[in-house]
Structure 1
Amino acid sequence: MPGAALIACLPVGAAWAQGPVSGSILDGRSQQGLPGATILLDGAAVGTTDANGAFQLPAVAAGAHELRVTFVGYEALSQRLSGQPEAQQLSLALQPAAILTGEAVVTAQRANNRTATAYTNVSREELNRRNFGQDLPYLLDQTPSVVVTSDAGAGVGYTDIRIRGTSNTGINMTINGVPLNDAESRGSFLVNLPDLASSVSSLQIQRGVGTSQNGGAAFGASINISTLDSRREAYAETQNSYGSFNTWKNNVQFGTGLVGKYFTFDGRLSRIATDGYVNRASSDLKSYYLAAGYQRQNTLLKFITFSGREKTYQAWNGVPEFALTGNRALAQVSIDNYEFSPEEAERALQEGRRFSYYTYDNQTDNYQQNHYQLHLAQGIGADWNLGATAHLTRGFGYYESYRAGRRFSAYRLPNVIIGGDTLTRTDLVDRKWLDNYFYGGTFALNYQPKQNDKLQATIGGAWNRFVNDHYGEVIWARYASTGNIRHRYYFNDATKTDYNAYARATWQILDELGVYGDVQLRHIDYRIDGVEDDQNDVTTRADYLFFNPKAGATFTVAEGQQVYLSYAIGQREPVRSDFTDRPAGDTSAKAEKLRDFEAGYRGSWTLPLLGLRSTLRVEANYFYMNYRNQLVATGQLNDVGTALRTNAPRSYRTGVELNGALALADKISLSANATFSRNRILNFRNVIYDADYNPVVDDVARTTTISYSPSFVGAATLEGQPLKGLRLALLGKAVSEQYLDNTASQQRRLAPYQVLDFRARYSIRPSFVKEIELGLLVSNLLNREYSANGYTYGYLGASGRQETFNFYFPQATRNFLASVGVKF
C-alpha cells in the first residue's frame, strides 16, 4: 500500500508532541467570525476557518513560524508564532481593506457558501505546489470530477480538461471576469497562454451551471481565474524545471511592491519547451505577464497585459489502434481501405504508441494571443463597490500542412498542362489562418454591507464582440498552375456580438437559513460570410435570446455543517462547426438547454485522533443535469467526411460527488474525491453508411451512454512533512472506461486506467536569499500504458463489412520533472 508506506516513513516522537494552535478569525469592526479565511503557516496553506470563523492547527513544530491570515476584502494579517508543547489559543481580528482590492472585479462571478452551488477554490499556494511547467488542466487534475489529457502525452502543448464528462467547450473560462473561450468554437486553448498558472492569484471551479457568468453558458462547469492580487512588498523569483522528453521550463517573476504609496508594477517572462512523449510532438511556448496598478483608498485602477506564443508540432491525428496493439491484421484493414499506405502502416507498427502520423518538418501550429485589460474597482460609500473592465484580445496565427496529391480545383486553381499531359493534382503546402479581435466591457455593482451582511447583491453584465477572419493560403506547390506565392483559396469572416445582464442576491432570512436568486438575460447575434476550405458557401445568420434563472437555499444544521440545494437553467447557442459543416442552407441546429438540480452537504470537525487534534472536512453533492437538444455526434458525415452533430431531444447526467480531507497535525494530510455518475442519451439513433456511402439510420432508438463520460472518476492525495521544509506527496487518479462515440460499443472505447504520481518539495532559507526550493515530480510512477482520449469513425469497407477505425492519444509512461526555485 503506497499510502501506508508513506505514513511509515514519517517520524514520530518529539515532532508529534508539539502543542496545537486554535482560535478564531474575526471582523475587526463587527467582531463576528469570518468563515472561509485562509490560514497559512510559513507560506503554506494549512486550512480555512469554519462557518463560525474558527480554525485548528493540530500541532505546530518547535521553533519560530510565520502565521498569515488572508480573506477577500480584508487586510492580510501576519503574526509570529512559536511552537510550544502546550496548547495555544488565538483571537485575531482582520481589518476591512483600507485599499479596495481587485477581488471586487471577480467576486461578482464567484460562488460562496451562500450560493448553494458545488465549487472548489484553489489558492496561489496550492497551484505553486503543483506547478512544474505542465499546463493548467494538469494542475487541476486532483479536483472533483476532472479528467485531463494531452495530445503530446506529457501535459505540455495541447491539453484538454473535462469536468463531469463535459469538454472545455462546455466549461466557461474567464480571466479576471473576461471570457477566455473562443467565441466561435467555445474552446479554451490554454496552449496559447503557457505558464499562466504562475500569475494566478486565485482560481475557482464551479460544477454544473453555477452562478451567472460573462461569456457562454457553463454546460458542465466554469473556471474563474484571477490575476488581480497585488503584492505590497518588492520581490524577485525564478522557477526552472527540466525533465523527461527534454522538457524545460524557465521563468522570472518580479514586482516593485508599493511605489510612492499608490503604485505597483509586476511582471513575468516564461518559456516552456519539450520534445513531447509522442514522436515529433514538440512544443515551443513563450509568454509574458505585465501589470501596473494604482491603489488609493477606495479606488483601484489596474492595467494588465499578457501574451502567449506557441509553436507545436501537430499531434492531433493521434495513434491508430493497430500501432498501439501491434496487430498486423488490423493494420492490413487500414491499408485495404486506404487509411494508411503500406509504408505508413509499417512505420506506425515500428513506432508503436509513440507514433506520429506527420513527417513534414514544419507540420506545425503557430499562434499568438495578446490580452489587454483595464480594470477599475471603485468603492461607493461604505457598502457598495463597482468593478468595471475594458478588454481587447488580439489573436492571429496559422497551422501549416503538407498535402500530397491534392486536386487543383480544390484550391481554385486550373489544371496544369505539360506537353500533351494534363495534371489534375499536385503536392503542396498550405497554411490555414485565423486573424481575430475580441473586445468589449464588463461591469458589476456589488452591495456588501460591512455592519450587517444578511443581504448581499450584485447587478452586472457585459458587451463583447468577436471579429474573426478565416482564410487559407498555398505557400508552395510542386506544380503551381497560375497561383502566386500565398495564393488565397478561401476566405470567410465572422462577427459575433454577445451581451448579457444579470442580477444576483443572497439573503440570510434566519441565522440558519439563507436563500439565493440569480437571473440572467443573454443575447447573441452571429454572422458568417464567405466560403470555407471545401469551397462551400457558409453564409450564416443566427440570433438568440436566452433567459437563465437560478435559485437556491442553504441551511446550517449545526456548527460547521451546512446543507444546500439549487436549481438553475443554462442555455447556449450552437458552435461554428454546427453551421459550417452542414450542407449549404441547412440551419437546423438548435440551441441547447440544461436544467441543473444540485443538492449537497458540507461539514467540518475537529477530532481527537491518535491523541492528536485533527481536522476533518467532508462534502457530498448530488447533481441531475437534464438536457434538451444537446448537440451530439450521431455518426453522420457531411459531403467532405466531417462528423456532424445533431440535437438529441433528451439526455441527462446524474451522479454523486464525494470530497473529503483529513489533516493529522500539520505533518500529514489525506484528501480524496470520487464521482459516481450515469450519463445517458434517450432515443438515440446511430448513423452508418452503406456500400454507396448513403447514410443508414438505425431502425430502433435506444438509450445509450454519452461519449467521453466515465461512470467513475476518483483522485486522492496523501501528503506528509517528515522534516521541516520537506513535503512528500503521493497523488492517485482513477478513471473508468469511456466510449469514443455514442453507441456504447466495446469496440470503440477507452479502457479504464489508474495512475500514481509522486511529488517532493524541499525548501531552505539561507542567509543570502529568501528561499531556495528543490522539487521533483515523478508522473505515472507505476509505468502504466494508458490513453486518456481518442476518436473513432467507420464505414462499409472494401471487405463488405462495417469497419471501425479507432485512434488514441497515449499518455506518457513513467517520466519526471525536477525543479529549482529561488526567491530573492
Structure 2
Amino acid sequence: MKTVLLAVAAFFGLAAAPAWAQGPVSGTITDARTGEALPGATILLDGAASGTTDATGTFNISTVPAGAHEIRITFLGYDALVRPLQGQAAEQRLSAKLTPATLFTGEALVTASRANDRTAMAYTNLGKEDLAKRNFGQDLPYLLDQTPSVVVNSDAGAGVGYTDIRIRGTSNTGINMTINGVPLNDPESRGSFLVNLPDLASSINSLQVQRGVGTSQNGGAAFGASINISTLDNRREAYAETQNTYGSFRTWKNNVSFGTGLINGHFTVDGRLSRIRTDGYMNRAASDLKSYYFAAGYQVKNTLLKFITFSGREKTYQAWNGVPEPALTGDRARLQTFIDNGELSAADAARVLTEGRRYSYYTYDNQTDNYQQNHYQLHLSQGLGPNWNLGAALHLTRGFGYYESYRTRRKFVDYGLANVMIGNQTITRTNLIDQKWLDNYFYGGTFALNYQPRAGKLQATLGGAWNQFDNDHYGEIIWAQYAANLQPRQRYYFNNATKTDYNAYARATWQVLDKLGVYADVQVRHINYRIDGLEDDQNDVTTRASYTFFNPKAGATLELSPGQQLYASFAVGQREPVRADFTDRPAGDQTAKAERLEDWEGGYRFSRTGLTSLGPITALRLEANGFYMNYHNQLVATGQLNDVGAALRTNVARSYRRGAELTAFASANDKISLSSTLTLSQNRIRDYQDVVYDANYAPVVAAPRTSTISYSPAVVSAHTLEGQPLKGLRLALLLKTVSRQYLDNSQNEARSIRPYETLDFRLRYALHPSFMKEIELGLLVNNVLNREYVANGYTYSYVGASGSQETFNWFFPQATRNYLASVGLKF
C-alpha cells in the first residue's frame, strides 16, 4: 500500500500543473417556443460534463481556461446546441434557447426503462466519451470496473475472451442486460456472453447501470443490477474513425467506424468492423474475435425508422477449468493429493510444476469454443403530439456454434456405440473428439408508450414485450480411436428447449409538490419453459415449468435544495431458475424453486458546480446509498462447475445482502479530478447447514448457522485520479480493491479467494492537426505493481483415496503487469 501512496503522491505533483488564466461562464437555458426554463439540461465543455441546469434553467461554470473552447448543451427531446466559447478573465453570460428535436434519436424504448433523479434508486450513467477513454479492446465488464459494487474477472487472465462481472455479489445471471430495449441475456442460462459481441463498446453511445432491482425491464429480472445499453445515436455530420491497439500477450485490436451523417434531412448510415486477437495471459488461452455493426435510419417529421444489425464471431481456446491450487502455491504434497485422487495425471502434474500459475489443463490443439451470434433489430420511434411518443421494436437473434473437446477413455455405451472386438479382446473405452452444439433463435417484439410533457408534474410509461426462444442442444462425435458402428458426425444426444416470456409494465413519476416527487412501477411477467430429450450424460432432461410474477415498485424523492436530494424506494423482483438448475440435477428432479427479492433502497445525493467555498474544487458530487436485499429461495453458487464451466447452484430458504455504497467526485478546473466508490456489505445465508461426507460416504450435516454467501466480498472500492497537466494530455491512476471471497457457502478460508488490490495507469493524448479532426495516442498499463492475484475460482470436496474428506480448489489467475498501446484517428 505504501507503494500505491507514493505513486499517487507523484501523480498529484505532475497533474497539479499551473492553470492558465480563467474566468466564469453562466447562463440560462429555455425552450425556444414557450420560453420556459429547462431544468436538468446537460452542459459539456470541450466534451467533458461541466454540470446541469437547476430548477430555474440556470447553470454556472466557475472557471473556463483562456483560449478557444466548445460548449455543448443537450436536453432530451431537443436539438443539441453547440457554440464556440473564448475563455477570458472577465465573467461571461450565455443565454440559449433549445428547439424541439427535428432528428429523433429513437431512444423511446431505452429511456422508458432508465432510472433518473425521480425514480429513487441507485444508478450510474456512462456516455460515449466515458467508455471511449476506458476502451483499449478489453471486454465491456472491464470498462465498468470503476463503477460501484463491481467485481470483474477473466478466464484467460487479461480481460479479453471469456470475462465475467458481478455487481453486489450477483453474477451476470442476475444482471439484466438490454441493447436498445431488447433483452441480451441468454433466455436459458440467463448469462450475457459478451465474448459473442466483441468491441460492442465502440458502438455504444450511452449506458446505464442500475443497482438492485431497478426499474421494470424487458427480459429476466435484475437480482443484482441491470445494464441498459443504447447504440441509437444519430450523428448529423459525416465521420470516419479507426482505433488500433497492440499490447502484451500479442493482443491486437483494429476497428474502422464510419457514418454518413444526415443525408437530405432524412437518411443516416453508420457502420463498424472490428477484430480483436490475443494469446491470453494463460497458456493456450487464445481468442480470435470478429464483429460488425451496421445501422440505417430514415426520418420524416415525427417518425424515425431504424434498422440495426450487429454480429460477433468468437473462437476461444477453453480456459474455463482454471488452475489447481498447487500451481499457485508450489505445494508438492498437495499436488500429490490431486494425483492420488485422479484430479491430475502424472503428466499434468509435471506441467503444473513447469507452467506454474499460467498452467492450462487442456493440451489438444483445437480445444476451442466456436460461436456466432447475429442480431437484427427494427426500431420505430413515433412522436404523437407534443407530449407523447411511442417506441417499438421487432428483433431476431440467431446463435449457433460448438465447443470441441478431446476426451480420454470414454465408455462406448455412454455415446450409444457398441463395444469393439479386436481378436478375442473386447474394448469398452476409447479416446474421442466430440463437439457440443447450440443452434438457436430468439425473436419477439417490445414497445413503450411514453407521456413526457416538456414541463409537467406527471410522466408515465406503458410498456412490455413478447419473446420466444428455441434452442437445440446436441453432441456429435467427429473422431474416435476405436469405433464399430460410428457414422460421420454421429449424434449421441439431442434435446430441444423452448421458452416463451412476455411481460407488461406501467410506470409513473408525479411531482406532488415542488420539492416532493413519488414513483410507482408495476410489472406482470409470465414464463413458459419446456425441455424435451436427453442430455450428454444420457439423462432424460424433460422439463415443464411455468411461472407468473407480479413485481411492484414504489419510491419517493425529496429535494432539499438545488443539487441536494433524499430518496427511498421498495421493489420486488422474482425470477425463474436457469436451465442448469434443472438439467444438472438427477433425472426428473424439478425441485429448483423460483427466487424472490424484496429490495429496500435509500440515499442522499449532492451535486454542485461553480463552487467557490471549497478552494480549488469547482465541481463536487456525493452520493450515499443504503440497501437491504431480502431473498426467499435465493439460488446461490455451490462452488462447483458443470462440464461447460457454468456454476452449479442450490436454493437457500432465507438470505440477505445489506450495505452502503458511497461515491464521490471532485474536480478542480478540469485540471485534476478524483472519483471514488466504496461498498461495504454483509451477504448472509440464514440457518445454513454445511454437508460433508464421512469415511462410509454418509452425509454429515452441520448445525444451522449464519454464513457468508459465496463470491460476495464485504468490501469493494474503486478510485480514479485523473489529471490534465497539458491541454489534450490526460493521465489517470486507477486503484481497485476487493476483500476476501468464499468459493462456497461454508465460510471456510481454506476455500476462498484472498483479498487483492490492483493499480492501473492510463494515458490519453489528443492532437488536432489541420489535416484531420484528431489523432489520439493512448497507453494502458494494467497491474502496475505486478501483483500476483486471482479473481475467481471454484471448489469441490469428497471422500478421497485416504478415506477422509478432501477439498480441491481451482483458481483463475489474472495477468501480472501488462500493457496496451493505442492509436486512434478521426476524420
Quick check: TM above 0.5?
Answer: yes
State the alpha-carbon separation in 2 of the partners of residues 486 and 428 from structure 1.
Answer: 12
1:582-601 counterparts in 2 under 5 A?
Answer: 582-601=585-604
**Alignment of structure 1 residues 453-468 onto 2, 5 Å:** 453-468=456-471
Contact 1:635 1:687 in 2 (8 A): no
Given the superposition, is the C-alpha separation of residues 105 and 636 from structure 1 closer, same or farther in structure 2, using an over 3 Å criterion?
A: closer
Query: Which of 521, 525, 529 is the equivalent residue of 1:526?
Result: 529
Counterpart position of 2:782? 779
Alpha-carbon RMSD:
1.8
Distance in 1 (CA, whole Å) between partners of 2:41 and 2:720 is: 23
CA distance in 2: counterparts of 1:550 and 1:341, whole angstroms = 54
Report the counterpart of residue 563 of structure 1 in structure 2: 566
Instruction: Compare 104-113 and 307-316 and name the one that shifted more.
Output: 104-113
- The DSSP-based 3-state class of the residue aligned with 1:386 is strand
357-366 vs 636-645, greater mean Cα deviation: 636-645
* Partner residue, 1:543: 546
* 1:493 paired residue among 487, 493, 496: 496
Q: Find out whether 1:161 has 2:165 as its counterpart.
A: yes
Q: Structure 1 length normalisation: TM-score?
A: 0.97
Q: 2:14 matched to which residue of 1?
A: 9
Q: 1:51 to 1:815 in 2, by over 3 A?
A: farther
The reply on whether 1:90 has 2:59 as its aligned counterpart is no
- 1:439 equivalent to 2:443? Answer yes
Matched residue of 1:608: which SS? coil
Which residue of structure 1 aligns with residue 389 of structure 2?
385
Cα distance between partner residues in 2 of 1:38 and 1:173: 26
Q: Is the 8 A contact 2:43 2:49 kept in 1?
A: yes
Matched position secondary structure for 2:545: strand
Distance 1:292 1:421 in 2: 66
**Deviation at 1:38?**
3.1
Whether the 8 Å CA contact 1:465–1:495 is kept in 2: the answer is yes
Task: Confirm or deny: 8 A CA contact 2:617 2:667 kept in the other structure.
Answer: no
**Any stretches of 5+ residues in structure 1 without a counterpart?**
none
Separation of aligned partners in 1, 2:200 and 2:605: 31
2:822 is aligned, of 794, 819, 822, to 819
Q: How many angstroms does 1:329 deviate by?
A: 0.8
Deviation at 1:35, TM superposition (A): 4.3
Taking a change above 3 Å as real, the CA distance of residues 718 and 641 of structure 1, as seen in their structure-2 partners, is closer
Residue type of the alignment partner of 1:629: N
Cα 1:806–1:26 change in 2 (3 A) is farther
Alignment correspondent of 1:484: 487
Q: Which amino acid aligns with 1:742?
A: N
Q: Does the aligned pair in 1 maintain the 2:641–2:794 contact within 8 Å?
A: no
Indicate the residue corresponding to 1:423 in structure 2: 427
Q: CA contact under 8 A between 1:661 and 1:671: conserved in structure 2?
A: yes
Output the TM-score relative to the length of structure 2.
Answer: 0.97
Alpha carbons of 1:786 and 1:645: their partners in 2 closer, same or farther (altered >3 Å)? same
Matches within 5 A, 1:50-199: 50=54, 53-199=57-203
**Paired residues of 1:495 and 1:528 also in contact (CA < 8 A):** yes
Contact 2:640/2:794, CA 8 A, preserved across alignment: no
Query: Aligned equivalents of 1:398 and 1:35: distance in 2?
Result: 52
Shift in Å, 1:743: 0.4
Kindly tell me: are residues 640 and 414 of structure 1, through their superposed partners in 2, closer, same or farther at Cα, counting changes over 3 Å?
farther
Shift of 1:639: 13
CA–CA separation in structure 1 for the residues paired with 2:711 and 2:576: 21
**What is the CA-CA distance between 1:49 and the residue it aligns to?**
4.1
CA 1:93/1:485 → structure 2, altered by over 3 Å: closer, same or farther? Answer: same
Q: d(CA) in 2 for partners of 1:604 and 1:587?
A: 50
- Counterpart secondary structure, 1:107: helix
Corresponding position of 1:800? 803
- Whole-Å separation in 2 of the counterparts to 1:49 and 1:745: 52
Alignment equivalent of 2:555, drawn from 534, 552, 556:
552
**d(CA) in 1 for partners of 2:645 and 2:248?**
38
Aligned partners of 2:641 and 2:668: how far apart in 1?
56
Deviation at 1:83, TM superposition (A): 1.1
Deviation at residue 321 of structure 1 after TM alignment: 0.6
Relative to structure 1, the CA distance from residue 479 to residue 46 in structure 2 (aligned partners, 3 Å threshold; closer, same or farther) is: farther
CA spacing shift, 1:171–1:635, aligned 2, 3 Å: closer
- Counterpart CA distance in 1 for 2:144 and 2:672 is 21
Does residue 399 of structure 1 match 2:403? yes
Provide the rounded CA distance (Å) in 1 between the counterparts of 2:311 and 2:756.
Answer: 36
1:31-430 equivalent positions in 2, closer than 5 A: 31-50=35-54, 53-430=57-434
The separation in 2 between residues aligned to 1:50 and 1:357, in whole angstroms, is 58
Secondary structure in 2 aligned to 1:511?
coil
- Opposite residue 130 of structure 1, the aligned amino acid is R
The CA distance in 2 between the partners of 1:516 and 1:641, in whole Å, is: 41
Residues 49 and 240 of structure 1: CA distance in aligned 2, closer, same or farther (over 3 Å): farther
1:687–1:31 Cα change, 3 Å: farther
Taking the aligned partners of 1:692 and 1:493, their CA distance within structure 2 comes to 39
Identity in percent = 73
Aligned residue pairs: how many?
821
Distance 1:551 1:706 in 2: 28
Listed one character per residue, the Cα deviations across residues 325-358 of structure 1 (whole Å, up to 9, x for unaligned) are 1111110010111100111011012111111110
SS in structure 1 opposite 2:119?
A: coil
1:449 counterpart = 2:472: no
Does the CA-based 8 Å contact 1:58-1:613 persist in structure 2?
no
The residue matched to 1:426 in structure 2 has which SS? strand
SS of alignment partner, residue 216 of structure 1 = coil
Give the C-alpha shift of residue 584 in structure 1.
1.8
Q: 2 CA distance for matches of 1:129 and 1:32?
A: 36
One-letter amino acid matched to 2:234:
S
- Secondary structure of the corresponding residue to residue 339 of structure 2: helix
Q: 1:709 aligns with which of 709, 712, 727?
A: 712
CA contact (8 A) 1:145 1:163 kept: yes
AA partner of residue 325 (structure 1): T
Structure 2 residue matching 1:217: 3-state secondary structure:
coil
Taking a change above 3 Å as real, the CA distance of residues 684 and 610 of structure 1, as seen in their structure-2 partners, is closer
Aligned mates of 1:723, 1:755 — CA distance in 2? 27
Preserved contact between residue 286 and residue 317 of structure 2 (Cα < 8 Å):
yes
* 3-state DSSP of counterpart to 2:130: helix
Q: Structure 2: how far apart are the matches of 1:61 and 1:817?
A: 32
Q: Distance in 2 between matches of 1:112 and 1:11?
A: 34
**Which AA in structure 2 matches 1:705?**
T
Q: Per-residue CA shift, 1:231-250, capped at 9, x if unaligned?
A: 11100010000000000000
Instruction: Give CA-to-partner distance per residue, 1:75-116, whole Å, 9 cap, x none.
Output: 111000011122323232322212332121211110111011
Tell me what 2:749 maps to.
746
2:100 maps to a residue whose letter is P
Following superposition, the deviation at residue 449 of structure 1 comes to 1.1
Counterpart residue number, 1:669: 673
One-letter amino acid of the counterpart of residue 221, structure 2 = A
Output the CA distance in 2 between the equivalents of 1:633 and 1:692: 27
Structure 1 stretch 390-399 or stretch 557-566: which is displaced more? 557-566
Q: Structure 1 residues 798 and 35, CA, compared in 2 at 3 Å: closer, same or farther?
A: farther
Paired letter, 1:795: Y
Displacement of 1:797 in angstroms is 1.1
Structure 2 gaps, min length 5? none
Q: Deviations over 1:394-452 (max 9, x none)?
A: 000000000011111111101100000000000000000000000000000000112x3
Does the aligned pair in 2 maintain the 1:265–1:291 contact within 8 Å?
Answer: yes
Residue 406 of structure 1 aligns with an amino acid whose one-letter code is R
Residues 99 and 299 in structure 1, CA contact (< 8 A), matched pair in contact too: no
Q: Kindly indicate whether the alpha-carbon contact (under 8 Å) linking 1:736 and 1:752 is maintained by their aligned counterparts in 2.
A: yes
The residue number in structure 2 matching 1:508 is 511
